[in-house]
Amino acid sequence: MIAPLALIGLLSLPIIVAFYMLRLRRRDVPVGSTFLWQQLIRDVEANAPWQKLRFSWLLLVQLLIAAIVVTAAARPFSAVESDLAANVVLIVDTSASMATRTDDEDRMALARDRARDVVDRLPVGGHITVVAAADSAEVVVSETDDADAAIEAIEAIEATQLPGDLTDAFALASALARRDSDSTVVVVTDAAGDRLPDLGVGAPVVVERVGGTDANQAIAALSALRRAGGAQLDLFVAVSNPSAVDATRRLEIYADGALVDARELTIPAGQRSEALVSTVPGAATVIEARLAGVDALITDDRAFAIAPAEVTTRALLVGSGSAYLENALALLPRLELYAVDEDGYADAVAEAADAGEPYGLVVFDGMVPPTAPTIPALYIDPDDDGPFGAIDGRIANPVIARVDPEEPILRFVDLSTVHVGRTREVTLSAGIRAAVSTSGGTPMIAVGEESGRRVGFIGFDLGESDLPLQVAFPLLMSNLADYLLPATDGILPSSMRLGESVSVAVDPRIDRLALETVGTSGLPGAGTQAVEVPVVGGRATIPGAELVGLRELRARSEVAELDDTSLGRTAVNLFSVDESDVRPDDPQRIVEMGRVSAADDPSTQPTRAEWWWPLALAALGLLLVEWMLFHRPTRRSIQRAMRAMPQPLGARPR
């Protein structure tokens, strides 16, 4: 098979022949007399425009060279079976789990080896694009047929601390595949929980899976709560063990760099252990949790938390009385809690307003007031319609569906063991979103904004569930309070995940923001990163952090009192269930991103074996032969060299 248009070049063959038939063949011949007029007559006859074509080795070589060049330009090829097409997009996973390293396994080194092997298997004449992918995609070399350049780019790829997201990488691969139908996407990964796009890539996908160990434990949650009065901090720590065997790890707690607590935790296989630490001094500002010892992934062995500021808000609990709810709210250091029954609600609100100390939050337990308050409110097991939506009845024995691990309301909250007797069936208002739903899609916990005020919703009676008996309950109430009453100590949240961005409002007189991230020593890519963020119309988007550690935001302004002022700090942690579970996963879901159907064999596919390059070499060789044979000085030099070579005795002289 060839590209037929290139065969137009074969018209050059008769042109070459015509040149040989038309060319003059004059020779300078010394003569002793003018008697040789007959020779002149023959010379004129030889210069006739169209003469008989005589055999010439030079003509034959030139015709052969022209034919080979034209054939090479037609790019002849044959269809062969290969696991790679002529156009290869090589995606190398660089997410946090790819930094897994044990005495027997260096996962990133294995990935580079597999990537180099893909380059070696590239079809003749093929080209390759190499993409490094963590939470976004970076092209390290684009559509090159230079194997050495591709391998050099692969050697420079390193694992990051970021969670995996192959969405951008597959979007790029899809765009390249549309430009060349003969394409293959190769993904070198451990398939450990990377996010994938909703749509396929339009080309076959081949997965080179690496890794084998699962020996890892991780700090899965870290949260600091200040007790009433601010004299002491309570620290909640959760350590997960996604491996297949039980593990015992030493947990160390540091406050502003000083060790304040250490304990041994035994974590069952596939579960997590939780601890409440009450030995952190109230004056501490930065708390760090460490897992001592060595496991497969060091990125998730350290986590940070910033101690909450001592700021309180008056909160009113309205209901018949729930000891669990009262205790959970009273423990929140941000709240100064008051409680009344349903009949005393209106009087309590009026008295607080008259005293100049209005409530900043209202919690309604089992009831909905006739008029919704204008301040943030949390509705628990409401008996009537409200700002959250419309009540339509109850659902018995609901099953909690799998929740989104990125949901901020559920930060550090594990609801997998929670049982609920019944829950309200509700249709949420516009602007209210479900954070937890039943397996049938009925919202159980929801938050949002309605008429400019923040609203929270819990659709079941706490007394009809075992939620108040679990560690998840105070954490859930703390997260709901943080949502309903955003923190005022700086404009950044107290904690963020790696790669998570946030939009903030700032003083319009601020021109830009200086953002500095101090990474934790000993982790992959650790160091200090500083960037400047532009401010447009009093708003700025803070990009996601790439390093576990602390971030600080400072103002840059022409106004002296604003310039270089601190706008807040935040702690950045991995806190990714998928990345901490370093066990290599089934790559089939990644393979299914390709267009190969289940009936096809994904291991091989038709591709082209091109022949143009040996034809080009043959043409070059013939040019050298022509030059050597018909360039007289060169031919004579070769002949003299051969005569000068020693000859065996008795041989005929050359």
Q: What domains are defined for the chain?
A: 4-76+613-644 (no CATH), 79-213+582-609 (3.40.50.410), 218-306 (2.60.40.10), 313-484 (3.40.50.880), 495-574 (2.60.40.3720)
Cβ-Cβ contacts under 8 Å for 90 (sequence gap 6 or more) = 115, 118, 119, 128, 129, 130, 131, 150, 186, 188
Q: Are 399 and 439 in contact (CB under 8 A)?
A: yes
Average pLDDT of 216-234?
80
The structure tokens listed for 321 are 């009385």
Predicted TM-score (pTM) above 0.85: no
What pLDDT sits at residue 331? 81
Q: Provide the pLDDT confidence category of residue 114 given band limits of 50, 70 and 90.
A: very high
Q: Which of 251-265, 560-574, 629-643 has the lowest mean pLDDT?
A: 629-643
Average pLDDT of 234-239?
91
What pLDDT sits at residue 602? 46
Q: What is the pLDDT of residues 51-103, one digit of tens each?
A: 566 666 667 777 777 777 777 676 666 655 566 888 899 999 999 999 999 99
Residue type (1 letter), 213: T
**Highest-scoring range by mean pLDDT, 262-266, 586-590, 626-630:** 262-266
Residue type (1 letter), 398: P
pLDDT at 2 over 60: no
Q: Are 484 and 376 in contact (CB under 8 A)?
A: yes
Cα–Cα distance measured from residue 118 to residue 132, given in angstroms and rounded to the nearest whole number: 15
What pLDDT sits at residue 597? 44
Q: Provide the pLDDT confidence category of residue 514 given band limits of 50, 70 and 90.
A: very high
Identify the burial level of 268 via C-beta atoms within 10 angstroms of its C-beta, where 0-12 means exposed, 13-18 middle and 19 or more buried. Answer: exposed
What pLDDT sits at residue 632? 65
Residue type (1 letter), 530: A
Residue with tokens 């939009």: 503
Average pLDDT of 185-194?
90
What pLDDT sits at residue 403? 85
What pLDDT sits at residue 402? 84
**DSSP H or E segment with residue 226:** strand 218-226
Give SS3 for 249: strand
Q: Could you tell me the strand order of the sheet in which 313-319 lies?
A: 335-340, 313-319, 361-365, 377-380, 453-458, 443-450, 432-437
Q: Mean pLDDT across the chain, nearest whole number? A: 84
What pLDDT sits at residue 318? 95
Q: Which of 34-43, 74-83, 300-309, 557-566 has the lowest mean pLDDT?
A: 34-43
The better pLDDT of the pair 580, 29 is held by 580
What Cα–Cα distance (Å) separates residue 451 from each residue in 375, 480, 484? 10, 19, 14
What Cα–Cα distance (Å) separates residue 329 from each residue in 346, 375, 471? 21, 17, 14
What pLDDT sits at residue 42? 55
The structure tokens listed for 260 are 């304040």
pLDDT at 240 over 90: yes
Q: Alpha helix (H) ranges present in 335-471?
A: 345-354
Q: Provide the pLDDT confidence category of residue 528 given band limits of 50, 70 and 90.
A: confident
What pLDDT sits at residue 20? 59
Average pLDDT of 568-585?
92
Average pLDDT of 128-145?
92
Residue with tokens 């101690």: 307
C-beta atoms surrounding 617 within 10 Å: 12
What pLDDT sits at residue 654? 55
Average pLDDT of 193-197?
83
Q: Could you tell me the strand order of the sheet in which 302-306 lies?
A: 258-267, 247-255, 286-291, 302-306
What pLDDT sits at residue 249? 96
What pLDDT sits at residue 53? 61
Rg over alpha carbons for the chain, rounded to the nearest Å, is 38
Residue with tokens 């004059």: 26
Average pLDDT of 363-368?
94
What pLDDT sits at residue 336? 87
The angle at the Cα of 165, spanning 162 to 169, to the nearest 5 degrees, equals: 115
Among residues 549, 500, 575, 520, which one has the least CA distance to residue 218? 575
Q: What is the pLDDT of residues 371-393, one digit of tens each?
A: 999 899 999 999 999 999 999 99
